[in-house]
């Protein structure tokens, strides 16, 4: 479980202090316009940028007190446009540093539609394929080190995981993240630009603007047309009556 206690950053880019809790099995979407502080907040949640205000706890222990090796067992971060440094095969990159069981790697490759690319050089992959490989690697980092008796599978942090994916792959990825959260009790944080993906798949949403969290809660409460129109300076229409009962946001013509 990840808990924030008036946690923030004072140096630029700053994040105003905020409280919050992310529990095992939940998917949190962080949304907001360009420059709102989404990636900075993700860096704060990961521990790569230490909190300058308040306290951030992982599993009840201050994040700053976690030894790096132990933290790697409990937290994985997939950054934007993360590029592999060497000419690895896909299966090698997914397994890198984790020493996972072959069955786990095979399962993750299948989950993200990468099995047919297992022996391909990652340097030969498209941007969307490479993005899915890095997500599989992050999941492998957590699940390969998770004790069978552990209460949850750790914390997976993803910065714009759907940015290079087509609409079909976006849907399949978000469904798979939901499945991992439920099956392995992973707490997942996604920075998303697509508000309809956040509305459809997230358990909770944090809306950021100019380094401040201006709203948080259930997706349908946070992602209302009035608030979104103001924050994004855009004209919207609300589409009701979708199959899952969740209204969609669309640009007005």
Is the previous residue joined to 13 through a cis bond, with omega within 30 degrees of 0? Answer: yes
The structure tokens listed for 116 are 């047919």
Residue 176 and residue 222: Cα distance in Å, rounded? Answer: 24
Q: Which segment of 8-22, 37-51, 206-220, 223-237 scores lowest on mean pLDDT?
A: 223-237
CATH number for 218: 3.40.50.300
Residues 31, 198: contact at Cβ < 8 Å?
A: yes
pLDDT, one tens digit per residue, over 136-188 is 999 999 998 765 555 688 999 999 999 999 999 999 999 999 999 999 999 99
The predicted pLDDT at position 242 comes to 55
User: Tokens 């199959």, residue?
Assistant: 243
- CA distances (Å), origin 142, targets 2, 27, 137, 151, 233: 15, 16, 9, 13, 39
173 three-state secondary structure: helix
Does the pLDDT at position 65 exceed 90? Answer: yes
User: Tokens 């079909």, residue?
Assistant: 168
Cα-Cα end-to-end distance for the chain = 43
How many separate domains does the chain show? 1
Q: What is the mean pLDDT of residues 184-196?
A: 95
Count of Cβ atoms closer than 10 Å to residue 65 Cβ: 10
Using DSSP bridges, classify how beta strands 204-209 and 187-191 pair: parallel, antiparallel or unpaired: unpaired
Does the pLDDT at position 51 exceed 60? Answer: yes
pLDDT, one tens digit per residue, over 92-119 is 999 987 889 999 999 999 999 999 999 9
Range of the domain at 18: 2-251
The predicted pLDDT at position 137 comes to 95
pLDDT, one tens digit per residue, over 238-251 is 666 555 556 677 77
The predicted pLDDT at position 216 comes to 97
Percent of the chain predicted with pLDDT > 90? 77
The predicted pLDDT at position 243 comes to 53
- DSSP characters for 93-158? HHHTTT---HHHHHHHHHHTT-GGGTTSBGGGS-HHHHHHHHHHHHHHHHHTS--TT-SS--EEEE
| 200, 204, 210, 211: CA torsion to nearest 10 | -140
Q: How confident is the model at residue 38 (pLDDT cuts 50, 70, 90)?
A: very high
Q: What is the pTM of this model?
A: 0.92
Does the pLDDT at position 86 exceed 90? Answer: no
DSSP letter at 34?
T
The predicted pLDDT at position 103 comes to 94
Residue 222, phi then psi, degrees to nearest 5: -80, -40
Using CA of residue 195, residue 186, residue 54, residue 11, what is the dihedral sign?
negative
The predicted pLDDT at position 169 comes to 95
The predicted pLDDT at position 235 comes to 81
């Amino acid at each position: 479980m990840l808990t924030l206690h008036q946690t923030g950053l004072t140096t630029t880019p700053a994040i105003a202090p905020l409280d919050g809790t992310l529990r095992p099995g939940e998917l949190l979407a962080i949304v907001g316009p360009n420059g709102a502080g989404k990636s900075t907040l993700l860096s704060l949640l990961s521990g790569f940028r230490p909190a300058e205000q308040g306290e951030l706890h992982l599993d009840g222990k201050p994040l700053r007190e976690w030894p790096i090796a132990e933290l790697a067992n409990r937290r994985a971060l997939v950054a934007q446009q993360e590029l592999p440094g060497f000419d690895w095969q896909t299966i090698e990159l997914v397994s890198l540093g984790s020493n996972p069981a072959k069955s786990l790697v095979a399962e993750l490759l299948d989950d993200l539609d990468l099995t047919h690319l297992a022996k391909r050089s990652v340097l030969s992959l498209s941007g969307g394929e490479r993005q899915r490989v890095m997500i599989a690697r992050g999941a492998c980092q957590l699940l390969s080190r998770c004790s069978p008796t552990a209460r949850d599978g750790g914390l997976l942090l993803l910065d714009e995981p759907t940015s290079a994916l087509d609409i079909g792959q976006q849907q399949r990825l978000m469904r798979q993240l939901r499945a991992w959260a439920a099956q392995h009790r992973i707490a997942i944080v996604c920075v998303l630009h697509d508000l309809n993906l956040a509305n459809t798949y997230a358990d909770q949403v944090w809306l950021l603007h100019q380094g401040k969290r201006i709203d948080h809660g259930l997706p349908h409460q946070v992602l209302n047309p009035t608030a979104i129109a103001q924050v994004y300076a855009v004209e919207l229409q609300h589409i009701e009556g979708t199959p899952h009962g969740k209204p969609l946001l669309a640009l007005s013509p």
